[in-house]
Chain A
């Protein structure tokens, strides 16, 4: 069923509750052969350069399509586990004033341990593979970085080259790398705590942040063309080409296969 992903700022209380309850349920219940912690495992494994000598998820062209696939899979699993085919991942437009860190949504503690309320252990949330020795989700909003402004987003969206050699985090004239560093990394660092770590999906805001990153790529595609991924095909070692499968996803999960969100059964409003 096709869903429309909306801004977290527009959610009703019932929609917020449905979303966080599905996450909590997925922590302790498998769906489609996966559970919540599977996602944390994949994030840690595919952040690194894997044995195929490819960076699948970060610091490479496949940053956008890898996370698009990752979010689509989670959305599907959350629909399965909750039995609600209308469930969707909301996006957090961090240039706006609405915060997802409220008592009725992702929890209101933003300066250390989330020790009570939503996403605390007593609420039913547990950490997995934390590099910080604690059982409490950590957040340190604004300690390390500020939020990108709408002006910065506009500048980044203006880069017309999707990506180019050497296809890593040193490329200057690259929409992918500019977005990854100036917008994506910065918001991870703005939230801080676990969001700044390798195991960042421990914080549910990870999904709302990446949903917004995916929306920005979708907006960019609307201007530059849907099938504009680089590198195109078969010739570049060490990176995922347009028609190469992204691990750990099913065969055929290529950047090309997720370039158009229409067949992926979601859209943005």
Chain B
């Protein structure tokens, strides 16, 4: 049985809570106020961040403490918004309320942010959007922020 890493629990737990709580409104008071936010010290990379290739496209995801997570596909920005929503799985499994990412391209199809097991919502969003794009790219319109 795997022993839970307490530091990871704290890290993911806190990041998840901040993400959900600041989905609609940024918390300026929190900006740069990390526990190790000393002058000139780079923020430590979040273990959920990624910079890799999927189906020939470069996908890069960065999780920010303030909840404004960032996603780039072939160096083009896709603005993401975190929403609380009812998920009604097509396979008939039980509906549940969760937190998910939407963007201009998956506006009706939130990608649930898995906060327990793989913690990989942003990566799954990136892959979904690459599948939607096929051999095309994001336009500047995809980078426009959107409140919900």
Does B142 have its Cβ within 8 Å of any Cβ on chain A? Answer: yes
Leading 8 A-B pairs by shortest Cβ distance: A131-B104, A185-B108, A131-B142, A169-B85, A133-B139, A188-B108, A198-B104, A133-B137
Is the contact region of chain B dominated by helix, strand, or loop, or is it mixed? loop
Q: Is the CB of B148 within 8 A of A199?
A: no
The stretch of A19-27, A141-149, A220-228, A259-267 that contacts the partner chain: A141-149
Specify which chain A residues have a CB less than 8 angstroms from the CB of B84 in the assembled complex.
Answer: 168-170
Q: A219 to B5, alpha carbons, bound, how many Å?
A: 54
Q: Is the CB of B139 within 8 A of A170?
A: no
Q: How many A-B residue pairs have CB under 8 A?
A: 95
Does B90 have its Cβ within 8 Å of any Cβ on chain A? Answer: yes
Segment 16-47 of B: residues with Cβ below 8 Å from A: 24
Specify which chain A residues have a CB less than 8 angstroms from the CB of B128 in the assembled complex.
Answer: 144
Instruction: Name A's B-contacting residues (CB within 8 A).
Output: 47-49, 55, 59, 112, 129-134, 138, 140, 143-146, 168-172, 177-178, 181-182, 184-186, 188-189, 192-193, 196-200
Q: Is the CB of B105 within 8 A of A172?
A: no
Instruction: Name B's A-contacting residues (CB within 8 A).
Output: 24, 83-86, 88, 90, 95, 97, 104-109, 128, 131-134, 136-139, 141-142, 146-148
- When the two chains form the complex, which single residue of A129, A185, A189 contacts B141, counting CB atoms closer than 8 Å? A129
Q: A251 to B104, alpha carbons, bound, how many Å?
A: 29
Q: Is the CB of B108 within 8 A of A189?
A: yes
Question: What are 20 A-B contacts defined by CB distance under 8 Å?
Answer: A47-B107, A131-B105, A131-B138, A131-B142, A132-B133, A133-B137, A134-B136, A138-B136, A143-B132, A144-B132, A168-B84, A169-B84, A170-B85, A170-B97, A172-B95, A181-B85, A181-B86, A184-B108, A197-B107, A198-B104
